[in-house]
Amino acid sequence: MKPFSYRRASDIASACASATQPTAKFVAGGTNLVDLMKLQIEAPAQLVDITRLPLARIEETAEGGLRIGALVTNSAAAVDMRVRRRYPLLAQAILSGASTQLRNKATTGGNLLQRTRCPYFYDTSKPCNKRAPGSGCAALEGLNRMNAVLAVSDNCIAAHPSDMAVAMTALDAVVETAAPDGSTRAIPIDALYRSPGDTPHIETVLAPGELITSVLLPPPPPGRQVYRKVRDRASFAFALVSVAAVLELDGNRVRSSRVAFGGISYKPWRSPDAEAALEGAPATRASFDAAGTAALQSARGFGHNDFKIPLARRTLRATLTQAASLA
């Protein structure tokens, strides 16, 4: 690990002011950042410790939603009875990720900003445009089983690893931030992440020193919520494919739906194509299959990850079938 300076922030304004340089990083739970520093993939010149900031509460909103502070741990969010009752999708997603020990440390804000688990990003002997811009993408013709199949570029096919963010995308969450100049922003979570294009090392729309302070969940949507994760083993494994679905029925027909995928794109992938295919359709296997076909119509495999395309379709069908049976 390379030397770095350390500063503990006493308030949000000083935290933001201390992290305006590109070489500065915020740190809280550190479950991803510290590992990357040990591997010298991340080498910040300064760490700004934000663990003392008053951002560890879950609060009711006047509209009937919840505001989850950026420092709320994954474990605390998953066991909060308001989350479990109103947003079971989110609790299911969080509990499917990592391990109990990691969930006890990992924070809401950090989870959204964790970096890809593409093996070539972690292997400093191989080219990776996300780690070393302009060096190339070894995953394109390498072992790309865990990589993305939707909205990728020839410069990067890394997949976003978060489970929590997939659920939050289906719930229309909004990420609230504070900037060094004192301004604040409310960013729809679907707009937080940048397409890889030719700059895959720039992963979000956050500016230097801009700090996630909370995530706002609007009132829970109507219908049944289900999260399904397909992985290589039953725990402590990242998703090959995951689906977050909200399904509202009117009799045997779909009144409304929300569909988001994990493990198949550079960000949690909301699928308006699947939702459009489901609207007004009967809640049948054929309709769910049609939604899967619509969702994956532009998917492209790269060899080892070709299986993700049919797997995503089947996972969507299984998730919607479960939601329909609950309804």
pLDDT-based confidence at residue 114 (cuts at 50, 70, 90)? very high
Which two tokens mark 244? Answer: 């977050």
pLDDT confidence tier of residue 143, bands split at 50, 70 and 90: very high
Q: Read off the pLDDT of each residue in 55-61 and give the average, rounded to a whole number.
A: 98
Question: Mind listing the pLDDT tens digit for each residue in 213-261?
Answer: 999 999 999 999 999 999 999 989 999 999 999 999 999 999 999 999 9
Asked if 255 and 323 count as a contact pair (C-beta separation under 8 A), the reply is: no
Residue 250 CB partners (closer than 8 Å, separation 6+): none
Over residues 120-129, the pLDDT tens digits come to: 999 999 999 9
Whole-number pLDDT of residue 204: 98
Query: Which residues have a Cβ under 8 Å from the Cβ of 214 and sit 6 or more positions away?
Result: 55, 67, 68, 69, 70, 108, 176
Alpha-carbon gap, residue 142 to 120, rounded angstroms: 9
Phi, psi of 218 (to 5 degrees): -65, 170
Q: What is the DSSP string of 174-223?
A: EEEEE-TTS-EEEEEGGGTBPP-TT-TT--BSPPTT-EEEEEEEPSPPSS
Residue 160 CB burial class (10 angstroms; 0-12, 13-18, ≥19): buried
CB neighbour list of residue 131: distance below 8 Å, 6 or more residues apart:
41, 121, 124, 201
Reported as a pLDDT band with limits 50, 70 and 90, residue 48 is: very high
pLDDT surpasses 90 at 148: yes
The Cα 82–Cα 105 span in angstroms is 21
pLDDT of amino acid 307:
98
| DSSP single-letter state for residue 139 | G
Classify residue 115 by its DSSP letter.
Answer: P
User: Average pLDDT over the chain, rounded to whole?
Assistant: 97
1 has pLDDT over 90 = no
User: How far apart, in whole angstroms, are the C-alpha atoms of residue 167 and residue 174?
Assistant: 12
pLDDT tens, 191-209? 999 999 999 999 999 999 9
Q: What's the pLDDT at 243?
A: 98
Taking the C-alpha atoms of residue 161 and residue 303, their distance in angstroms, rounded to an integer, is 20
Distance CA 29, CA 113 (A): 12
DSSP label of 63? T
Q: For residue 286, what is the DSSP state?
A: H
**Closest Cα partner for 156 from 191, 115, 105?**
115
Rounded average pLDDT over 47-58: 98
